Amino acid sequence: MDFELPAELVEIQRTVRAFCEAEVRPHAAAWDASETFPREVVAKLGAMGLLGITVPERYGGAGMGALAVAVVVEEVARFDGSLALTVASHNGLGTGHIARFGTDAQKERYLPSLATGERLAAWALTEPGSGSDASAMRTTAVRRGDAWALSGSKTFITQGTVGGSFVVLARTDPGRRHHGITAFILEPGMSGFTQRPIHGKLGMRSSDTAQLFLDEVEVPDAQRLGEVDHGFIDTLQILDRGRITIGALAVGLGRGALEEARAYAKERQAFGKPIAEFQAIGFMLADMATELDAARLLVRRAAALCDAGEPFGTAASMAKLYASEAAMRATSRAIQIHGGYGYTRDFPVERHFRDAKLTEIGEGTSEVQRMVISREILR
């Protein structure tokens, strides 16, 4: 399959790169240090159409596919992993779930404002006691006439305090695991629904992350998203797509580290010459470039399969697994090339290293990806 980008995506890539050079690169370190969510820049991304990439045109989106999301997320991640995570999660999780499984009325109500970034989407699956084993969730939804009462808690929710639409998964049939979970759309301000920010993260520090608490939150049945007891099955499709974008995010972080390390190695002098001329440094750069190119190809293969309507779950897991681990190797080598300076916050590679770790955890850990891949191999 040919992975040369269409001209339209090449132009989008250039536009995003220029925007990030001007609007993101000068501020990313400060946002990270202060854990500040960059609302103004996120709003500009929305105005550029980058928060509605896959939303159908009839709802104000670009109507593009997984490959377009991957291209945009990689470009943003090269400069700021936190901002790239906002773009990835908004497009792929909350907005994606409504776009794929919402009713016509739900799409009309939510997608136009999600596509422009006027409203940000959050997606609430993970709980304090259920991460990789997501179907073990304890949040419940009990039907009461034409409404549901939701009770429980969620954690590590991206856009958790800045979101305007929350897709929340809850157990509707206690007797079943995978086939007893339903999705609902919640909004801030609902009685009994509160959010608490999570601070002090290792990386992705300017991405908004929160705990959600639900105390008998009354949700009309019209806000149920998808069929009753079918929410987890729908979620698996959302996660497969999300793994493509996390893979792209990892490639972007690794690429940023490579480009910073290459520039530093050509400038830094040791023993009378640039350290780039030492074979040990050159070989590290060569390994970084090779692995990141391979990761990008895996990500784009999975995205192309997704856009073509072909099975892509295993390809997405392979892409996410390899790209995330390649990003950790690349960012670690970038710090090594910078030496002591790489261990300080004076250079971006330290931030890239911290941000990259999340890509081995979010959207399914590396261990979960190996489970998915091995099951397919052994089938």
Other Cβ atoms closer than 10 A to 268: 15
Q: Choose, from 23, 277, 363, 367, the residue flagged as catalytic.
A: 363
**Alpha-carbon distance 181 to 234, whole Å?**
10
- Which of 208, 214, 207 shows the shortest CA–CA distance to 187? 214
Q: How distant, in Å, are the alpha carbons of 20, 159, 196, 208 from that of 38? A: 13, 12, 18, 9
> Helix or strand or coil: residue 222?
helix
Give me 103's structure tokens. Answer: 């009713």
**Strand 224-225, strand 181-186: pairing:** antiparallel
Q: How many CA atoms lie within 13 A of 161 on its CB side?
A: 14
**Alpha-carbon distance 25 to 87, whole Å?**
16
Report residue 154: phi and psi, to 5°: -130, 155
Determine the longest span between alpha carbons in the chain, in angstroms.
79
Give me 343's structure tokens. Answer: 């261990």
Instruction: Give the helix, strand, coil percentages of the chain, each rounded to 5.
Output: 55, 15, 30
**Alpha-carbon distance 123 to 350, whole Å?**
29
> Helix or strand or coil: residue 217?
strand
- Which of 78, 345, 89, 110 shows the shortest CA–CA distance to 225? 110
- What's the count of helices (H) and strands (E) in the chain, helices before strands? 12, 10
Helix axes 348-359, 81-89, angle to 10 degrees: 30
Distance from first CA to last CA of the chain, Å, rounded? 25
325 flagged as catalytic = no
Q: Which residues are catalytic?
A: 363
